[in-house]
Chain A
Amino acid sequence: MSAVLLQPVPPSTRQLILNGVFAENPVFRLALSLCPAVAVTTTVLNGLILGIAVLLVQVLSSVTVALARGLIHPRVRIVVYTIIIAVWVSVMDMALSAFVPALYAQVGLYVKLIVAFAIIISRLEMFASKYPLVPSFWDGFGMGLGFLLALVVIGALRELLGNGSLAGVRLTAGKPLLFFALPAGGFFSIAFLMAFFNWVERRMARGRRKPAAGGTHA
């Protein structure tokens, strides 16, 4: 992260997207904005709709901040960022309630709460306020995509295990593990997925470090 900030030249588009999806995945790696990750992920579609909303809010806010960089007084930048996010969140809220009312009914509260997502404001502060339009766009896109994918993965896991269906299409006759659809199941799904990510990372780190000196990954 700090390496990114010190570079005068913005990182490449590919790097930015991969960063958001894997290296700094907001849910699994940074453990930010977890609330919706548990709350709305009982089905794939719910995860998808909220993921799209977050992606759009992140991209729109990043672009707005990148464009208005010169105009924002540094003393009140956090306040202005918050206003920008709140505006785009409200726009998204109204648009979703108008065009996909059935899905919106299930995720409504959490769409409004996007405004309090630490991940969005931290990207504005760390990236969009320092870089021009195009890299800011891709950074926002990468982060939003990482969030969206995380929600869809958790949603798919929970819907498949808890309800025996995927995106509303029934795959098994009964309900294999109802537990995963229950509130508590969301916490456990995330625990297992996070542990899996950690495990993969440890395996990869060990593989990489074998030739060099040993030592555990911090």
Chain B
Amino acid sequence: MKSRDEVLRITASVTLACAAGAAILGATYVGTERYRQAAQLAAERGAIVELLNLGAGAEVTEVRQWLDPGLPGRPGTSAVRYELRPLGDATAPARTLAFSLDGAPVPVAAAPEQGPRPALEPLGRLFVARVRDSVAGFVVEGLARGYKNRIRFLIGITPGFEIAGVRVVEHEEDPGLGAEVATHLFESQFLGRTADQVAGLGVTRDPMPEDWHAALLRLERTPAPEWRAREHALLERERARPIYAVTGATISSRALTDGVRATVDHFRRRWSLIAPQFERGGGS
């Protein structure tokens, strides 16, 4: 009898502890989630504004890209969907565009035919910034398979399809070696290259020329437009050359460069598809 009492008391005490703990955690979650999302959004918006050198008053549209696998067994029905939404307003109604895999526009709200449809697969995100109703630039999110794990990065692209900047936002490379690809010194090597130049971009193990190295270091202290005007000759010379790999981390350097090349290529081809639709729809 006494032992049963004991068991009951133990059970009660552990259950109580668990319940109280879960309640505290639930409350904390509800309390902090809002701030976490706000911080994430602010970081994203900050990166976009900085990459594209935007002033205040720019409005940013987030475009989420999805692959709709279509009806099972009928590959012809699969499509790519683009969900357009003002950045940071998850509740706003999304404008959706959809294209078949061959690039033909398809009606979005295709009536669900028989059977359940497979879930959408995410194909990455891009952001379109507009100032006074004209496109001021794009930021595209990309992924690359790095030396250890994946590298996630953002690429800023001007309306004229020139790289406005590259920013590594997530990586697990070795500190001191592969992690150097996430520094300004490496990232700003992409600056000013056109999409056509990026399409043939490679990596070299040659050491970076002293004058270029010094110029890239100066970029950390000078605003980008001013720097570009001043270093015009150097920039012109280096644009034709490959990316200089980080010493001791050629694989990481190559991974990021390949990732940038593929991401810019994908973006350019997809944008040519959605741009007319995007313009017509205005800023909704």
- Chains A, B in direct contact (C-beta < 8 Å): yes
Interface residues of A (CB under 8 A from B): 42, 71-73, 75-76, 79-80, 83-84, 86-87, 90-91, 94-95, 97-99, 101-102, 105, 162-163, 175, 178, 181-183
Q: B24–A91 contact, CB under 8 A?
A: yes
Q: Quote the shortest CB–CB distance from B10 to chain A (angstroms).
A: 5
Determine whether B121 belongs to the interface, using a CB cutoff of 8 Å to chain A: no
User: A182–B17 Cα gap in the complex (Å)?
Assistant: 42
Q: Mark B6-32, 1 if CB is under 8 A from A, else 0.
A: 100110011001100100110011001
On whether the beta carbons of A86 and B21 are closer than 8 Å, the reply is yes
Q: Are B36 and A98 in touch, CB under 8 angstroms?
A: yes
Q: B39 and A91: CB pair below 8 A?
A: no
Question: For residue B9, which residues in chain A have a CB less than 8 angstroms away from its CB?
Answer: 73
Q: Give the bracket for the number of chain B residues in contact with chain A.
A: 20 to 34
- Taking a contact as CB atoms under 8 Å apart, the answer to whether A83 and B17 are in contact is yes
Given contacts A87-B24, A101-B43, contact A75 B10 (CB under 8 A): yes
The answer to whether A175 touches B176 (Cβ under 8 A) is yes
Inter-chain CA distance A93–B77, complex, in Å, is: 44
Contact, CB under 8 Å: A94 / B17: no
B206 at the interface (CB under 8 A from A): no
Which of B6, B17, B33, B170 has a CB less than 8 Å from the CB of A80?
A: B17
In the assembled complex, the Cα of A181 lies from the Cα of B9 at a distance in Å of 52
- B18 contacts across to A, CB distance below 8 A: 83
Q: Chain B contacts of A80 at CB under 8 A?
A: 13-14, 17
Q: Are A87 and B21 in contact (CB under 8 A)?
A: yes
A90 to B24 CA separation, bound complex (whole angstroms): 10
B106 touches A (CB below 8 Å): no
**Which residues in A have their C-beta under 8 angstroms from that of B25?**
87, 90-91, 94
Q: Could you mark each residue 85-108 of chain B with 1 if its beta carbon is under 8 Å from any beta carbon of chain A, else 0?
A: 000000000000000000000000
Asked whether B177 is an interface residue with its Cβ less than 8 Å from the other chain, the reply is yes
Q: What are 19 A-to-B residue pairs whose CB atoms are below 8 Å? A: A72-B13, A73-B9, A75-B10, A79-B17, A83-B14, A83-B21, A84-B21, A86-B21, A87-B25, A91-B25, A94-B33, A94-B36, A98-B39, A99-B35, A101-B36, A105-B170, A162-B176, A178-B176, A181-B176
Task: State the CA gap A102–B174 with chains docked (Å).
Answer: 18
Contact B13 A94 (CB under 8 A): no
Residues of chain B within 8 A (CB-CB) of A178 are: 176
How near does chain A come to B182, taking the closest CB pair, in angstroms?
Answer: 11
Main secondary structure of the interface of A (DSSP, over half): helix
Q: How far is the CB of B89 from chain A (nearest CB, A)?
A: 20
Contact residues in B for A71 (Cβ distance below 8 Å): 13
Most buried by A among B9, B43, B175, B177: B175
17 extra A-B contacts, CB within 8 A, seeds A80-B14, A90-B28, A175-B176:
A72-B13, A73-B9, A75-B6, A79-B17, A84-B17, A87-B21, A90-B25, A91-B25, A94-B25, A94-B29, A95-B32, A99-B35, A105-B170, A181-B175, A182-B174, A182-B176, A183-B174
Least CB distance, B142 to chain A, in whole angstroms: 18
Cα A86 to Cα B174 in complex, Å, equals 30
B6, B32, B174: the one contacting A94 at CB < 8 Å is: B32
Q: How far is the CA of A83 from the CA of B44 in the complex (A)?
A: 35
Q: In the complex the two chains form, what is the Cα distance from A177 to B202 in whole Å?
A: 30
Cα A183 to Cα B236 with chains together (Å):
39
Residue of A nearest to B16 (CB): A71
- Do A102 and B35 touch across chains, with their CB atoms under 8 A apart? no
Q: Is the CB of A91 within 8 A of B28?
A: yes
Q: Is the CB of A182 within 8 A of B177?
A: yes
Considering only CB atoms, which chain B residue lies closest to A86 in the complex? B21
CB of A94 within 8 A of CB of B14, answer: no
Separation in Å of the B120 CB from the closest CB of chain A? 27
Complex CA gap A101/B170 in Å reads 12
The answer to whether B32 and A42 have CB atoms under 8 Å apart is: no
B204 within 8 A of A: no
Interface centre among B9, B28, B43, B174 (most CB of A within 10 A): B28
When the two chains form their complex, are residues A42 and B175 in contact, meaning their CB atoms are under 8 A apart?
Answer: yes
- The 9 closest A-B CB pairs, nearest first, are A98-B36, A98-B35, A87-B21, A98-B32, A181-B176, A94-B32, A101-B39, A73-B13, A91-B28
> Are B39 and A163 closer than 8 Å at their CB atoms?
no
> When chains A and B are docked, how far (Å) is the Cα of A94 from the Cα of B174?
27
Q: Tell me how far the C-beta of A49 lies from the nearest C-beta in chain B, rounded to whole angstroms.
A: 15
CA distance A19 to B17 in the complex (A): 31
CB atoms of B176 and A163 under 8 A apart: yes
- Mask: chain B, 26-62; 1 = CB below 8 Å from A; 0 = not: 0011001101100110010000000000000000000
